[in-house]
Amino acid sequence: MGPTEVEWDRSQYSLRDALRRKVRRYGQLDKPYVIAADVISPTADSEDVENALMGDEVAIVSETESGRYSVEPSRKWNGVWTSENGPRNTRNSAILVCMRLGPWSVSFSSVCLYHHPAAKRPYDSALTRLPQWKVENRNRRLIDGNSVREILGLPIGWPE
């Protein structure tokens, strides 16, 4: 048995860097601006997407007067859409995230529309048929939708 290497999955950072480049690509637009991204990392998931958009998850630990510790979940302000000064990249309306989408995987790949919670021009058109992720009153909400397979009318297990 040879030596083993372990490394942290950096999917959220790669996605964050790519989205930051894309979100700055165009100037001010008079219509909603949706970016599409295909995440190809085999270990990436929706948490990586949320961390890339909203900032790294952290835990704030504080000691109470009784000597106990309390832990409160929070986020760093290093997301594509977040900063210490408030929302950023608000000209971006939403990001359509595909997980490992390809011609051979279209019938089972996960696709979700992530809405910018502070977008100047919110998106509300055809892509809202897909599953959606929204933040309302600081709470995230997943909204069911049709899969790409259903929208395209493909049989289960396509292609066979």
> Could you tell me the residue ranges of all domains in the chain?
11-152
| Residue 52's pLDDT band (cuts 50, 70, 90) | very high
Q: Note the pTM of the prediction, 2 decimals.
A: 0.86
Burial of 160 from C-beta contacts in 10 A (0-12 / 13-18 / 19+)? exposed
Confidence check: pLDDT of 6 > 60: no
Confidence check: pLDDT of 2 > 80: no
Q: CA 13, CA 53: separation in Å to the nearest integer?
A: 10
Residue 155 is given by DSSP the state P
Residue of 1 and 48 predicted with greater confidence: 48
Per the CB < 8 A criterion, the answer to whether 78 and 18 are in contact is no
